[in-house]
Amino acid sequence: MYPILEKRLLAEGIWLMKVLAPRVARSAQPGQFVIVRADEHGERIPLTISDFDAAEGSVTIVTQAIGASTRKICALNEGDALADFAGPLGHPSEFVKMPVEELRKRRYLFVAGGVGTAPVYPQVKWLREHGVKADVIIGAKTRDMLIYTDAMRAVAEHLHIATDDGSEGFKGLVTALIGELIEKEGRHYDECVAIGPMIMMKFVALTTKKYALKTTVSLNALMVDGTGMCGACRVTVGGRTRFTCVDGPEFDAHEVDFDEAMRRQGMYRTQEQRAAAIEAEREAGHVCKIGLDK
């Protein structure tokens, strides 16, 4: 069992949990993920690591309650425990393996959207600790949906906020703000890292391609089982079939077939909605037997 040390509401339906998992914390690196189960009957949920503290033995995850399984995780409180917390899984971010001297000559731009802001944080934090400068754009529909702004401001060289409705920061999409920084302000970046909704990552990739700016995206949202056994996270990258959980979760954004990835993601969204309906039936006292009932 893995005790929850801290639970905090970040925005509507989005919860931060700090979990006691010493072995995972000692081995974790930016870009990796864990597999979480609320209880022994729960579904396996892959979540990107949002922070880790080897000395404390803790790993931080951020979960959005969007369906039956994620709502079950978010319903747990401080003092409760998760049944499983397996990891760290997946490959670390590419820059972790680069010589520090080479890294310090580079400048990164991170583009974060929604819950994807959380896994951006440990990457920017790691770079800061190694003397590497990184600018960050956080995008959201409205200021009420912004998360990690204070934490990100502490580790980023410059933090930029973009909201669709203009309630905070730049009014417009993150892609428009990228153009502002590069074209109007003359900012130079060696690499962009984008993590967030699939549609956002697609258009960030299209935007950065115009500037010949190398771009990396995390496709964690595609994963179901997280071990490579189910094959559900197949994605075409550079014309080849790759598996997000074992080959990623990070890939070259300019080689990802985002349209295929979004179609696959849409199939799982439908399943999650059905699972949520099953859970509602249970809560109402009606037992329902459906193939997807977990």
Q: Is 63 annotated as a binding-site member?
A: yes
Q: What is the pLDDT of residues 201-236, one digit of tens each?
A: 999 999 999 999 999 999 877 666 666 666 677 888
pLDDT recorded at residue 231? 67
What is the structure's pLDDT at 28? 95
| Annotated binding residue 230 | yes
Extract the tokens encoding 190. 């060696």
Find out whether 123 is annotated in a ligand binding site: no
Q: What ranges do the domains of the chain cover? A: 1-87, 92-217
* Alpha helix ranges (H) inside the chain: 22-27, 68-74, 100-103, 117-129, 149-155, 174-179, 198-210, 244-247, 258-283
Q: Which CATH architecture fits 92-217?
A: 3-Layer(aba) Sandwich (3.40)
- Whole-prediction pTM: 0.86
CB of 8 closer than 8 Å to CB of 15: yes
DSSP string for residues in 144-202: GG--SHHHHHHH-SEEEEEETT-SSSEES-HHHHHHIIIIIS----SEEEEES-HHHHH
Are the C-beta atoms of residues 24 and 41 closer than 8 Å to each other? no
Do 261 and 255 form a contact (C-beta atoms < 8 A)?
A: no
Axis-axis angle for helices 258-283, 198-210 (nearest 10): 160
Averaged pLDDT for residues 146-155: 95
Kind of pairing, strands 191-195 and 107-113?
parallel
pLDDT of residue 278: 44
Q: Is the pLDDT of residue 274 over 80?
A: no
Phi/psi of residue 286, nearest 5 degrees = -105, 115
Select from 244, 255, 248, 241 the least CA-distant residue to 222: 244
Contact call for residues 244 and 219 (beta carbons, < 8 A): yes
Is 192 labelled as part of a ligand binding site?
no
pLDDT higher than 80, residue 286: no
Average pLDDT, the chain: 87
Classify burial at 236, counting beta carbons within 10 Å of its beta carbon; exposed 0-12, middle 13-18, buried 19 or more: middle
Annotated binding-site residue? 233 = yes
Report domain 1-87's class.
mainly beta
Whether residue 62 is annotated as binding a ligand: the answer is yes
